[in-house]
Structure 1
C-alpha cells in the first residue's frame, strides 16, 4: 500500500476525538492556578487563540465541538441547574455577535494597554477577562440552556468568520477587453 497516495474523494473526513468529557478540568485548573499565582493567567491567551489556530488551519469550529474547556464545563455541570430556556432571538443575530466580539476585543485591548506592559498586570487582565466571561457563561447556562454561551461566544464567532472567509472562493481580476464597435 502506498502511504503517499492521495485519499479518494469519497473518503469521509477524519474524525477528531472529542475531549469534551474531561477538558473542563483545564479551565478549573486555570482559575485555581491563576488565583495561586497571577502569572498563570498568561495561559488565558492559549484558550483565546486555539479556536483561531484551528480555523486558520482549515479545521473550522473543531475547537468548539471537541476541545473547548469552557463548553465542556457548561455542558457537564449545568444540565441539572439549567432552566432550559431558549436564547432570545436577538442574541443569535450576527449583529449581536459582532457587537459582543467587538466589545470583548476592545475591553481586552484596553486592559492590556492599561497594564503598562507589566507581565503580572497582563496576566491578571487575561485572568479577569476569562473569569468574567466564564461567569457570564454560567449565568447564561442557568437561565437558558447549559451551553447558551457557546451560541454567542466571541471566539466561536470569530472562528466562524474565519471559516466563512476561507470558504469564499477567491475572485481573479481579469482585464476586460474593450471591443470597439465601428
Structure 2
C-alpha cells in the first residue's frame, strides 16, 4: 500500500499517454467509476478515493507540492454543485457511450475526454486551493459518500481522549474534516477518504484506525 500511495500516480500518467496510441484502452477508466461505489457498498466508505484512485494519488504526490493548500470554498462542497456534477457527467458519459455503441475507440474517447477535462479542472483548482479540491465534488466520490450514509457503515478512525483540539489534523485533511469534533468517538463523516493525513499530523497520536469496526 505504501509503495502504491507513493507511485500510484504513474498509472494515471500512463493512462493519459498510452490511450493516445489506442483509444479503446481508455475504457479501462470504467474501473475508477465502478470501484469506488463497490467499496462503499462493502462498507468501506470513500476508501478508494484516498488509497486507490490513480488521479487522487497524482494530486497527493504531484499537485500537493505546488498547491497553496488553502481552504476549499464551501461552494465546492455544496449539495447543489455535487448533485449537478453527478447528473451532468454521468449524463454526458451515457450519451457518449450510446452514440458510440459498437465502436470501442469511440467509447474510449468518451472516457478519455471526460478524464482529461475533469483532470484539467482539478489541476487548476489544486493550484488555487487544496490539492484535492476536485475530490470535494467528484461525482464518484459523491455517490460513494451517499452509499456510505445509506449503509450507515464506514471505515472509521477513532479519536482518543488525549486529543487537545489543536486542529492540526483539519489543516492537513484534504476534505477539511476536524477530528476534534469527534473526540472520544469515531470520525464517522462519510466524506472522509481515509488518507490518514490526520493520523500522521496528530502530535498526540490521538487518531487511530479502529480495527474492530
Q: Equivalences for 1:43-82 in 2 at 5 Å?
A: 43-82=28-67
Shift of 1:47: 1.6
Deviation at 1:20, TM superposition (A): 2.1
- Does the residue aligned with 1:112 lie in a helix, a strand or coil? helix
Answering whether residue 27 of structure 2 is matched by residue 42 of structure 1, we say yes
- Larger relative contact order (Cα-Cα within 8 Å, sequence gap ≥ 6): 1
Asked if the contact 1:20–1:68 (Cα under 8 Å) also holds between the matched residues in 2, the reply is: no
CA distance in 1, matches of 2:8, 2:44: 19
Alignment partner of 2:81 out of 96, 102, 115: 96
Paired position in structure 1 for 2:96: 111
Equivalents in 2 of 1:79, 1:90: separation in Å? 21
C-alpha distance in 2, partners of 1:145/1:110? 32
Uncovered stretches (5+) of structure 1, i.e. residues with no partner: 1-16, 169-182
Larger radius of gyration: 1
1:113-132 equivalences under 5 Å are 113-132=98-117
In structure 2, distance between residues paired with 1:113 and 1:155: 20
Secondary structure of 1:144 counterpart:
coil
Of residues 122, 125, 139 in structure 2, which corresponds to 1:137?
122
Question: Per-residue deviation at 1:39?
Answer: 1.3
What residue in structure 1 maps to residue 140 of structure 2? 155
Aligned partners of 2:22 and 2:105 also within 8 Å: no
What is the aligned counterpart of 2:5 among 20, 23, 45?
20
Deviation at 1:116?
A: 3.8
Paired residues of 1:92 and 1:151 also in contact (CA < 8 A): yes
Aligned-pair RMSD on alpha carbons?
1.6
Cα shift at 1:117? 3.1
Are the aligned partners of 2:76 and 2:133 in contact in 1 as well (CA < 8 Å)?
no
Task: Find the aligned partners of 2:14 and 2:32 in 1 and give their Cα distance.
Answer: 13
The secondary structure found in structure 1 opposite 2:65 is coil
Distance 1:79 1:42 in 2: 28
